[in-house]
Amino acid sequence: MSFLEFSNITKTYPGVRALSDVSFGVERGAVHGLMGENGAGKSTLIKILSGDQHADAGAISIDGRVQAYGSTRNAFDNGVIVIHQELQLVPELTVAENLSLGRFPASVGVIARRRMLDDVGAKLKSAGIDIDMRRKVKTLSIGERQMVEIAKAVMLDARVIALDEPTSSLSSRESEILFALIDRLRGEGKVILYVSHRLDEVFRLCDSLTVLRDGKLAAHHASLEDVTRDQVVAEMVGREISDIWGFRPRKTGEVRLKVDNLSGARLRIPASFEARAGEIVGLFGLIGAGRSELMRLVFGADPCSGGTIVVDGEIVAAASPHDAIRAGIVLCSEDRKHDGIIQGRSIEENINISSRRHHTRFGVLNRASEIATAETFIKKLKVRTPSRRQDIINLSGGNQQKVILGRWLSEQGVRVLIVDEPTRGIDVGAKSEIYELLYQLAEDGMAIVVVSSELPEVMGICDRILVMCGGRISAELARDQFAEKAILAAALPDKKTPDAIAS
Amino acid sequence: MTDRLKKILLGEQGLVVIFVVAFALVSLLVPNFLTDRNMLGLLQSVVTVGIVACTMMFCLAARDFDLSVGSIVAFAGMVAVMASNTTGSILLGLIAAIACGAVVGWVNGVVIAKFRINALITTLATMQIVRGFALISSDGRAVGINSPDFYQLALSKLLGIPTPIWVLAVLFAIFGFVLNSTVFGKNTLAIGGNPEASRLAGVNVDRTRIWIFTLQGVVCGIAGILLASRITSGQPNAAVGLELSVISACVLGGVSLAGGRATMSGVIVGVLIMGIAENAMNLLNIPAFYQYIVRGVILLLAVLLDNLRSSALGRR
């Protein structure tokens, strides 16, 4: 039995099986890579390890003892530290204070500052971390903060340290310092779980590797000696494409949407692309590649700093979603809960919120038309609900998504439909209904942009794929050129890519 | 049995049920409560709170907050009296008061919506600034009304019911309609439910918020005029603490401080419950000091009830 052992971990969220029967082990003094596409179950596994989520079945054991923790605090006490992408430090406190938080050396409530500095200094020195511990955390760079976060793990004498995409916001120099630190921790006999998208990092750092796919264990390599990168990519992607897509070829018309050198605060490299009437364009990339940022600029959700948007030959001044909608551009956001549904309000109101302006007179609602619109789209989109008056919060993810689509389909004159992760957290049945709807809308002449981090999805339903990586469009492929490896290669960042996306 | 009781009390109409029960109990138990004279007196006593609650409801429904209402009411009253004394025209005085209220409200709205300053802080500041204006305008003294016609605003009656009560009823009707049947009302509720999603759904969030605060100012102007008329003078220290009574009444009426939930009927009931409690305590000769405690307890109970209702709704 290994030092850290996952046995038969299973976790189901409503409508989705996030992990099923995942088992593997990691030895002491090893850096173990955890790879997989978005949604493969990596984050869920880490959350279960940190005590943030509970597995429905299965167990985690450390050093032969089964962990029965029910909270992150328990995991902490058992020597498990998870370092998340969003760091958990107090910006206004100094490095030393952050590292002593919760365990201040004190007498009668007064912090023994000298002793605190000595303790922290000794630990930092032994771990080889070179940071001025009197500085406030808010003055540190992201990379330095990451070091402090790892120092926290060292301070706590962690036995298992899990790092979730630690280099996603680091420069290459900062990454090198991080790798040196990880090497040192390996030497001390810690178990390090390293979650990353970046193949070259995993091959440089890791002793062993687990690949997850669709919540299942796709591969486990106890050693990386005879493993090739292509093999790992194949393991990450490698599923046969079944026909849940139901792709139908269409005739495409004139260019409907033309985006020219568009840039903004969160997308510094200007991006250009176009979409034709009747065309479904996929926008693929890893999380943080800048896909949603680009689409938010097109929709006017974020202010753009340069470039133009042209719809049917006319320049659109989309300073706000309000303007974009009037120009015929609509967006279904990635984060349904935060950016899509209006909690506490009915399905009827959620559908009518935008399109009602076509039916009002002097700002007074036309009740009959609102009811008719709601009923029409509940029926047309097969929203499963007892009544149009139901609070949208009570619907499943797929049905909420349909209501948001209904919101835009009830608009008149939509010319460009952007859907960001349209099927995230949605079961297979609802998925193919949504695909079918997209085909119909394209046949009616809309230009559709589908943003997705699920490669099979964009390959299954799109006429053309744009790949984004590190804030720029890195590849464009027509349907007859679709190849998983080529697309994934264009999406995986390599070291030379500048940090184009501001953190 | 308890399940059914729970359903009634925590349901949509729970508040109305509680109100009817409380009203019946007070009518039976408190002598002289259910008389024409006392009823009119009760309604007159809630006019200021009731009028301001109409727009405070919008404010809270959009997840905002307005502490400056008391100061605007006092300032508008001063402006109404002083402007009509100087110009000799009551109409000009009224217009000036409403315009001043609107300007203060608009400033609140612009600072909150455009400069993204927290509504609590913004209106805490304007609350003090505007109170300062009211005090400066007359050097801290009360200003008497010259024209007797001005008194008539509060004293005149239509069908035996004083004008201020009519004004209150009309405003209840107007804002009830605005909340339920206009784009503005629905947008307000949507913003309170989820501001970012509303913006991405094409709602002009900033403009809606500015309008809410401007309307709040206008309505405070109306309340200030009626108050000045009733107390026959402009008092720079009038309506101190009004904001708390108004917010209490709204919360009592089931308006969610988290935004997105409000009904006019609830607010009317909230205003009346506050009025009835005060009125009954006066009739029973309960000393004013104890009344504070009762008011506080009623508010706490209302919030607890609201909390229970939210979690009951969430479970469904």
Q: What is the pLDDT of residues B70-80, one digit of tens each?
A: 999 999 999 99
In terms of CA atoms, which chain A residue is nearest residue B198? Answer: A342
Which of A59-63, A239-243, A269-273, B39-43 shows the lowest per-residue confidence on average (mean pLDDT)?
Answer: A239-243
Token pair 């007196």 in the structure block, residue: B41
Nearest CA of chain A to the CA of B109: how many Å? 19
Q: Which residues, 6 or more positions from B4, have their beta carbon under 8 angstroms from its beta carbon?
A: none
Phi then psi for B152, rounded to 5 degrees?
A: -60, -25
Using the predicted structure, report yes or no on whether residue A240 has a pLDDT greater than 70: no
pLDDT the model gives residue A501: 39
pLDDT in tens, B169-183: 999 999 999 998 888
pLDDT in tens, A174-229: 788 888 888 888 888 889 999 887 778 888 889 999 998 878 888 899 888 888 87
| Cβ–Cβ below 8 Å for B183 and A365 | yes
Could you give the C-alpha distances from B304 to A239, B271, B298, in angstroms and in order? 53, 18, 10
Please name which of B169, B17, B149 lies closest in space to residue B89, comparing C-alpha atoms. Answer: B149
Confirm or reject contact between A319 and chain B (CB < 8 A). Answer: no
pLDDT the model gives residue A426: 66
Distance, in Å, from the CA atom of A495 to the CA atom of A482, rounded to the nearest integer, reads 25
Distance, in Å, from the CA atom of B68 to the CA atom of B120, rounded to the nearest integer, reads 9
| Cβ–Cβ below 8 Å for A342 and B202 | no
Distance, in Å, from the CA atom of A375 to the CA atom of A387, rounded to the nearest integer, reads 9
Nearest CA of chain B to the CA of A323: how many Å? 8
pLDDT the model gives residue B11: 66
What is the mean predicted confidence (pLDDT) over A374-385? 86
Nearest CB partner across the interface for A325, out of B181, B187, B202: B202
Across chain A, what does the average pLDDT equal? 83
Residue B175 and residue B264 in contact, taking contact as beta carbons nearer than 8 Å: yes
Q: Which of A297, A345, A371 to mutate to test the interface with B (most CBs of B within 10 A)?
A: A345
Residue B217: which pLDDT band, with cuts at 50, 70 and 90?
A: very high
Residue A307 and residue A260 in contact, taking contact as beta carbons nearer than 8 Å: yes
Percent of chain A with pLDDT over 70: 92
Nearest CB partner across the interface for A344, out of B202, B261, B316: B261
pLDDT in tens, B222-279: 999 999 998 888 889 888 889 988 998 998 888 888 888 888 988 999 999 889 988 8
Nearest CA of chain B to the CA of A279: how many Å? 24
Please name which of B302, B254, B264, B298 lies closest in space to residue B280, comparing C-alpha atoms. Answer: B298
pLDDT the model gives residue B30: 85
In terms of CA atoms, which chain B residue is nearest residue A318? Answer: B202
| Cβ–Cβ below 8 Å for A338 and B201 | no
Confirm or reject contact between A301 and chain B (CB < 8 A). Answer: yes
Indicate the DSSP class of residue A476.
Answer: E
Q: Please list the residues that pair with A469 across neighbouring strands.
A: A472
Nearest CA of chain A to the CA of B271: how many Å? 24
Using the predicted structure, report yes or no on whether residue A443 has a pLDDT greater than 60: yes
Distance, in Å, from the CA atom of A28 to the CA atom of B111, rounded to the nearest integer, reads 58
What is the mean predicted confidence (pLDDT) over A456-470? 89
pLDDT the model gives residue B115: 93
**Tokens at B119, concatenated:** 């509504």
pLDDT the model gives residue A503: 34
Helices (H), B182-232: 183-193, 195-200, 205-230
pLDDT in tens, A83-138: 876 677 888 888 888 888 777 777 777 887 888 888 888 888 877 777 888 888 88
Nearest CB partner across the interface for B196, out of A325, A339, A352: A339
pTM: 0.72
| Cβ–Cβ below 8 Å for A322 and B194 | no
Distance, in Å, from the CA atom of B187 to the CA atom of A405, rounded to the nearest integer, reads 19
| Cβ–Cβ below 8 Å for A342 and B196 | no
pLDDT the model gives residue A499: 45
In terms of CA atoms, which chain A residue is nearest residue B61? Answer: A344
Distance, in Å, from the CA atom of B112 to the CA atom of B122, rounded to the nearest integer, reads 7
Residue A455: which pLDDT band, with cuts at 50, 70 and 90?
A: confident
Residue B313: which pLDDT band, with cuts at 50, 70 and 90?
A: low
Using the predicted structure, report yes or no on whether residue A431 has a pLDDT greater than 80: no
**Tokens at A16, concatenated:** 């989705």
pLDDT the model gives residue A502: 35
Q: Which range, A341-350, A372-381, B101-110, has the best average confidence (pLDDT)?
A: B101-110
- A238 vs A477, higher pLDDT: A477
Distance, in Å, from the CA atom of A263 to the CA atom of B70, rounded to the nearest integer, reads 47
pLDDT the model gives residue A429: 62
pLDDT the model gives residue A338: 84
List of chain B residues whose C-beta atoms are within 8 Å of the C-beta of residue A331: 200
Residue A63 and residue A225 in contact, taking contact as beta carbons nearer than 8 Å: no
Q: Which of A295, A329, A342, A359 to mutate to test the interface with B (most CBs of B within 10 A)?
A: A342
| Cβ–Cβ below 8 Å for A357 and B183 | yes
Which of A29-43, A328-342, A373-387 shows the lowest per-residue confidence on average (mean pLDDT)?
Answer: A29-43
Count of helices and strands (H, E) across chain B: 15, 4
Environment class of residue B287 by beta-carbon count within 10 Å: exposed (0-12), middle (13-18) or buried (19+)? exposed
| Cβ–Cβ below 8 Å for B197 and A320 | no
Could you give the C-alpha distances from A364 to A57, A116, A375, A412, B186, in angstroms and in order? 54, 65, 20, 19, 10
Q: Please list the residues that pair with A446 across neighbouring strands.
A: none
The domain locations on chain B are 45-239
In terms of CA atoms, which chain A residue is nearest residue B196? Answer: A339
Confirm or reject contact between A340 and chain B (CB < 8 A). Answer: yes
Nearest CA of chain A to the CA of B55: how many Å? 18
What is the mean predicted confidence (pLDDT) over A231-252? 72
Residue A36, Cα to own-chain centre: how many angstroms? Answer: 13
pLDDT in tens, A387-407: 888 888 877 777 888 899 899
Using the predicted structure, report yes or no on whether residue B6 has a pLDDT greater than 80: no
Q: Which of B184, B194, B211, B215 to mutate to test the interface with A (most CBs of A within 10 A)?
A: B194
- Strand A110-111 to A106-107 pairing: antiparallel
List of chain B residues whose C-beta atoms are within 8 Å of the C-beta of residue A342: 190, 193-194, 197-198, 201, 260
Residues on chain B bordering chain A, Cβ-to-Cβ distance under 8 angstroms = 181-184, 186-187, 189-190, 192-194, 196-204, 256, 260-261, 313, 316
List of chain A residues whose C-beta atoms are within 8 Å of the C-beta of residue B202: 321-322, 325-326, 353-354
Q: Which range, A217-221, A266-270, B57-61, has the best average confidence (pLDDT)?
A: B57-61
Domains defined for chain A, CATH in brackets: 4-237 (3.40.50.300), 248-292+422-444+452-495 (3.40.50.300)
Count interface pairs A-B at CB distance under 8 A.
79
Using the predicted structure, report yes or no on whether residue B36 has a pLDDT greater than 70: yes
ipTM for the complex?
Answer: 0.79
Using the predicted structure, report yes or no on whether residue A167 has a pLDDT greater than 80: no
Nearest CB partner across the interface for B189, out of A301, A320, A345: A345
Nearest CB partner across the interface for B186, out of A325, A340, A349: A349
Using the predicted structure, report yes or no on whether residue B199 has a pLDDT greater than 70: yes
| Cβ–Cβ below 8 Å for B182 and A340 | no
